[in-house]
Chains A and B, each alone.
Chain A
């Protein structure tokens, strides 16, 4: 809400010398936040001065126009004191008149730069300005002629034109709709600024009594439209200009002057907060009826949009059908035009919820709708209509028609009771009852106190005040939020971070310590991303939760996998010249479930546990995932020699390091899953539970995402790992007897997994086996095509004795025998 300072101070006095900064600082502290202070003429710069026309010579032109070659006294403003030669196309002035002159170097609204230029055979050194050119109004044909004595030639014209006026922009919270008016802002000044006095309510005026002689109006839905006031004027001059003060104030408040009839309704809306609609009364057909629309009923609104209405919309109708979307936007058929001479003024109070719904349904945001949906004072409908009528008659030459239509009455104000000490108990400030009463009365409440209970009747412009805590806020903000002391609450002994929280930190530190860099991506995904991963048509990761209103149609759903964003981010880094990258991300993914919707539960009580369960069950699963991607070198090249390129095992190992940090050991088995290389993808298992996949990316995926060949990735479910993390690790016991080492080399088919061979060896070796480690994989012609040799180092140790050669030999042989049985392994000679 923008308000010229002088307009505010028309309704309230502040102590002399109160600066704008002081005024706005105080208003900000009591809840009307300063957004900006600007001057009305902020879009005008350079020399704009008062000039006196010395001579003017009309010069007819070939194009039929006549221009005036003028000399203008601009004092010393041009640096010479000589008269300024200016060509002017207007004719509404004569020598001796005071005018507004912009000199070369000046800039007018719209970035229009003024320079001396050759035109119509003269060098025109500046311009004599019209109101339109200065954004002061729209309806002037000629230039501005200042009243005699308005200023001296050469004087800065801004002050004369009110362009030095300070305009204060406030940020108005939804609960303070009354501050969307000068009336409300001035009242706020009166309430909160020390020493302010003399508040004059612009909506307080004597209005003629209602009678039956006015325009016939019937309201069929009084809850939707509790009050409907109609007044009519005739003999209105549609060509009458809007007075400068109205045009200037509208402009300063951010509204564009259009025509007198429209400007007046907007002016009164700014003044009182009450939206007004004007109809061309001659276009009305029969009585006005306010009702809910019938389904599918149509209306073309002022913005030219053909709208189909719902049964919830409130419409203003006449015999022709709907003529306006009540309280939101008028209709085209009865719009005031340049031929309108008879105006019906509607000043109606509308149900805020209906306004809100209609505005959203039709996607209309209007100044009227903004106020109506937040709540307007229902008691000032007659005053506002009367004010419009006054302005139309004063400036538009109109005559008031007899008859004042008033249908309905403002709803009664609710009463709110609270304990007198509630403000003190809520704020922590010692606020006594007298202070409570004084502040509530200051904001307009009627207050009675009965013992320890206070009952307040909020003023009609405060529909937001419904609860005891609303009263508390009014009191405390006027006492001053800045007086609230700072006291730490007495928290009980806390339990610290939960175990999952601690483990998540540990996972992040483990990966960062291992050289991985964490990134944060948006969780949105689209078909294209999933295609880029090469997912099969029936891949469960294609079952996504879609958004109704995505920001991008390329990513309209919540992702089921962290990989698309992670691969894209890695590709971007590579594109930016990072030779090697290793990224990780931990975030939840969204896995939809086929469930009922989430109910909208009551709010006047706690939901039952069953209700709450039905709510929570309706949500998709959102497991926490870890995604990893690495490209380029795992260990960099350097003076020490060649680096090591990343390979599938780096991805698997990173996940294993994470598991290790949680005290868990993962096993692997081959898997074929997009986006991985079908022969280089490991499924990671915790016991029998799959926790994710890791390995080398499919070459096509690398190409698609701009990653170097052989880039690797992993994605695992961290919730499963965290859930099984070892909590209390047991202290180990060690045998102090010597260990016996045995190496075995086993030849197997290429397709046999090393992990299977190792598992068989481990099992076959029995209890004496302390550790086993695969230390070499070897292929040769001698072994034959499709064969490989796996070399394992086995270490045996007994807890209670030194092992004999027979012990270790038989354990080794048992291990080899089982491996042979399970995997067809033969011992290499």
Chain B
């Protein structure tokens, strides 16, 4: 565009007069200042800074001037065009800022509108509680063992020192499968997983076994034919009841809060000897000044019945192929549903098994 103008007629070079350059510049700047919006500014730019603008045309003339006149004219026109471009850029910035400001105001929405355009899901609180408990054991270096719910009678009873005529078999109302002489039951406890673990692994064994178990209990606020248990089993050299107490105290503190510990009371389970009932310190009143009116969680006892435990009966070790002279162990079990109930203040366990989405949804994906 700025090539030498060969068709140039030197007689008509008036636009390079200083007054005319200043005039064109002033007119351009006035027009720029007057541009009300970006569209107007664009038009102004075409007129006053475009290829056909007076100063662009004047610029073409410069090459035709005698060499001594070129420098002065070039300077004059160049300065004028510079001033115009500067003015356009400044005006552009101002107008853009105004435009953006206006657009943002226009685009305002009501951010208080509901946003639930996707269904919310949730996991079952017992699943979450089981995982929480599993994580506590895993953090101690234990592993999580599992087994089937339809189980061999021998593994559910006999291997655990519950012979066919053991009175304790009546303590657990067992679902039997047909035909009865197939000796297959719904496991009444997660203990057969302990037996399976000892039968298939060699000590040291540190496992927790969460899972579903079944008893022929009628379904009511505190009983269910299916519920969830977690059992622990440790078999190693030199294991004592102190290790059992330590493990349960740790679990209690992790699950219910710092300072919550356990209490043992002598009890009876065929698979452990000595055996104990485990009470956990009430995490609401902490057993301090517990009284029946003050604490609903423990009904003023200060302690909550939590589960059973004991030293693995050497007879069980023998049946499961562990040398009782070399190894000793402990085992414990507690209800996951029950733990959940008092941890989360649930008085009737039935909502756990009735699938009302309002119940699961209340727990979301973390408890």
What A residues does B146 contact at CB under 8 A? 501
A176 at interface by CB-CB < 8 Å: yes
Scan B187-224; emit 1 where CB is below 8 A from any A CB, else 0.
00000000000010000101000001000101100000
Which residues, 619 to 648 on A, are CB-close (under 8 Å) to B?
619-620, 622, 634-636, 638-640
Q: Is the CB of B127 within 8 A of A508?
A: yes
- Chain B residues lying within 8 Å of A487, measured Cβ to Cβ, are 240, 242-243, 245-246
The minimal Cβ–Cβ distance linking A350 to chain B, given in whole angstroms, is 13
- CA of A545 to CA of B186, assembled, Å: 11
In chain B between 133 and 191, which residues have their CB closer than 8 angstroms to a CB of chain A? Answer: 134, 138, 140-144, 146, 148-155, 158-159, 161, 163-165, 167-168, 170-171, 175-184, 186
Known A469-B311, A600-B183; contact A427-B242, beta-carbon cutoff 8 A: yes
Pick from B124, B167, B313: contact of A373, CB below 8 A: B167
Closest chain A residue, CB of each to CB of B135: A497
Chain A 7-34 interface residues, beta-carbon cutoff 8 Å to B: 28-31, 33
List residues 555-590 of chain A with CB under 8 A from any CB of chain B. 558, 569-570, 572-573, 576, 578, 580-583, 587-588, 590
Is residue A236 within 8 Å, beta carbon to beta carbon, of the partner chain?
no
Which of B13-21, B26-34, B96-104, B269-277 contacts the other chain? B269-277
Report yes or no: B155 in contact with A618, Cβ–Cβ below 8 A: no
B158 contacts A601, C-beta separation under 8 Å: yes
By the criterion CB–CB under 8 Å, are A173 and B268 in contact?
Answer: yes
Contact residues of A between 426 and 458, Cβ < 8 Å to B: 426-429
B273 touches A473 (CB 8 A): yes
For A514-544 the 0/1 string (1 means CB < 8 A from B) is 1111111111100000000000000000000
A428 with B240, Cβ < 8 A, contacts A549-B216, A550-B175 known: yes
Give the residues in chain B near A374, CB-CB below 8 Å.
Answer: 167
Write the nearest CB–CB distance from B220 to chain A, whole angstroms: 12
Say yes or no: B318 contacts A603, CB within 8 Å: yes
What is the bound-complex CA distance between A30 and B276, given in angstroms? 10
Q: How far is the CA of A640 from the CA of B115 in the complex (A)?
A: 9
Cβ distance B222 to chain A, nearest Cβ, rounded Å: 16
Is A174 in contact with chain B by the CB < 8 A criterion?
Answer: yes
Nearest neighbor of B119 in chain A, beta-carbon distance: A515
Interface residues of B in 80-126 (CB under 8 A from A): 113-114, 116-124, 126
For the complex formed, measure the closest distance between the CB of A486 and the CB atoms of chain B, giving whole angstroms: 5
Within 8 A of B (CB), among A740-757: none
B161 neighbours in A (Cβ, 8 Å):
603
- Determine whether A505 belongs to the interface, using a CB cutoff of 8 Å to chain B: yes
A36 at the interface (CB under 8 A from B): no
User: Within 8 Å of chain B (Cβ to Cβ): is A495?
Assistant: yes
A496 within 8 A of B: yes
Answer yes or no: A360 CB below 8 A from chain B CBs.
Answer: yes
| Nearest CB of B to A39, in Å | 17
Q: B216 to A551, Cβ gap below 8 A?
A: yes
Cβ distance B107 to chain A, nearest Cβ, rounded Å = 17
Instruction: Report if A701 contacts B (CB, 8 A).
Output: no
Task: Please tell me if B226 contacts chain A, counting CB pairs below 8 Å.
Answer: yes
Given the contacts A173-B267, A356-B165, A469-B273, A518 and B243 also touching, CB distance less than 8 Å = no
B199–A607 contact, CB under 8 A?
yes
Contact residue among A425, A597, A635 (Cβ-Cβ distance under 8 Å from B118): A635
B76 within 8 A of A: no
Q: How far is B212's CA from A630's CA once the two chains are assembled, in angstroms? A: 26
Quick one: given A481-B265, A497-B134, A622-B149, are A486 and B154 in contact (CB under 8 Å)? no
| B230 at the A interface (CB under 8 A) | no
Q: Give the residue of B116, B219, B264, B267 whose beta carbon is less than 8 angstroms from that of A636.
A: B116
List which A461-475 residues lie within 8 A (CB) of chain B.
467-470, 472-473
Interface residues in B212-253 by Cβ distance below 8 A to A read 212, 216, 218-219, 225-226, 234, 236, 239-243, 245-247, 249-250
Q: Which residues of chain A are near B331, meaning CB under 8 Å?
A: none
**A158 to nearest B CB, angstroms?**
23
CA separation between A512 and B361, bound complex, in Å? Answer: 10
What residues of chain A lie closer than 8 Å to B149, measured between beta carbons? 523, 588, 622
Chain A's interface size range is 35 or more
Residue B355 at the A interface, CB < 8 A?
yes
Among A175, A581, A640, contact of B268 (Cβ-Cβ < 8 Å): A175
Whether A488 and B154, one on each chain, are in contact in the complex, defined by CB atoms closer than 8 angstroms, is no
- Given the interface pairs A517-B357, A603-B161, the reply to whether A426 lies near B274 with Cβ below 8 Å is yes
The answer on a CB contact under 8 Å between B170 and A360 is yes
Closest to A518 in B: B124
Quick one: which of A428, A523, A578 contacts B357, CB cutoff 8 A? A578
The answer, among A373, A486, A597, A620, for a CB contact under 8 Å with B183, is: A597
- Cβ contact within 8 Å between B180 and A572: no
Please give, as numbers and ranges, the residues of chain A lying within 8 Å of B153 by CB-CB distance: 598, 600
A492: CB under 8 A from chain B?
Answer: yes
Contact A634/B313 with A484-B241, A494-B141, A518-B124 known, Cβ cut-off 8 Å: no
Q: Does B360 interact with chain A (Cβ within 8 Å)? A: yes
The answer on a CB contact under 8 Å between B154 and A615 is yes
Q: Is B41 an interface residue (CB 8 A)?
A: no
Q: A638, B116: Cβ atoms under 8 Å?
A: yes
Shortest Cβ distance from A578 into B: residue: B357
Residue of A with least CB distance to B139: A494
* A489 lies within 8 A of chain B by Cβ: yes
Interface residue from A488, A569, A638 paired with B247 (Cβ < 8 Å): A488
Q: Contact at A576–B226, with CB atoms within 8 Å?
A: no
Q: Which of B248-288 contact A (CB under 8 A)?
A: 249-250, 261, 263-268, 273-277
Chain B interface size range: 35 or more
The reply to whether the CB of B307 lies closer than 8 angstroms to some CB of chain A is no
How close is A745's CB to chain B, nearest CB, in angstroms? 32
CB contact between B241 and one of A427, A549, A600, A616 (< 8 Å): that residue: A427
With contacts A469-B273, A476-B274 taken as known, whether A509 is within 8 angstroms of B242 at the C-beta atoms is: no
Among candidates B148, B171, B240, residue contacting A426 with C-beta atoms closer than 8 Å? B240
Task: Give min CB distance, A588 to chain B, whole Å.
Answer: 6
Q: Which of B150, B181, B358 is the one whose CB lies under 8 Å from A597?
A: B181
Known A486-B242, A486-B261, A619-B152; contact A603-B319, beta-carbon cutoff 8 A = yes
- Once the chains bind, are B154 and A520 in contact (CB under 8 Å)? no
What's the Cα separation between A578 and B148 when bound, in Å? 34
Residues from chain A with Cβ under 8 Å of B39 in the complex: none
Contact A569 B355 (CB under 8 A): yes
A427 contacts which chain B residues (CB < 8 A)? 240-242, 274
Q: Does A477 contact B (CB under 8 A)?
A: yes
Bound Cα distance from A520 to B319, whole angstroms? 35
**CB pair A639 B113 closer than 8 Å:** yes
Residues of A within 8 A of B143 (CB): 494-496, 498
The answer to whether B184 touches A597 (Cβ under 8 A) is yes
User: Provided the pairs A477-B274, A487-B245 are in contact, do residues A622 and B150 lie with their beta carbons within 8 angstroms?
Assistant: yes
A210 interface residue (CB < 8 Å to B): no
Whether a CB of chain B sits under 8 angstroms from the CB of A606 is: yes
* CB <8 Å contact, A505 and B314: no
B182 to chain A, nearest CB (A): 4
Q: Which residues of B contact A476 (CB under 8 A)?
A: 241, 274
A776 within 8 A of B: no
A489 x B163 contact (CB < 8 A)? no
15 contacts between A and B (CB under 8 A): A174-B167, A429-B242, A487-B242, A487-B246, A490-B236, A491-B140, A501-B146, A508-B123, A508-B127, A520-B124, A520-B352, A588-B149, A603-B158, A635-B117, A638-B116
Given contacts A426-B240, A519-B357, 20 further A-B contacts (CB under 8 A): A33-B277, A174-B167, A426-B311, A429-B242, A467-B313, A473-B274, A485-B242, A485-B245, A485-B246, A489-B236, A494-B142, A494-B206, A520-B127, A545-B184, A582-B121, A603-B161, A603-B319, A612-B199, A616-B152, A640-B117
- Give B contacts to A, CB under 8 Å: 113-114, 116-124, 126-127, 131, 134, 138, 140-144, 146, 148-155, 158-159, 161, 163-165, 167-168, 170-171, 175-184, 186, 199, 204, 206, 212, 216, 218-219, 225-226, 234, 236, 239-243, 245-247, 249-250, 261, 263-268, 273-277, 311, 313-315, 318-321, 328, 352-358, 360-361, 365
What are the 5 A-B residue pairs with the smallest beta carbon separation, nearest first? A606-B321, A428-B242, A515-B119, A428-B240, A31-B266
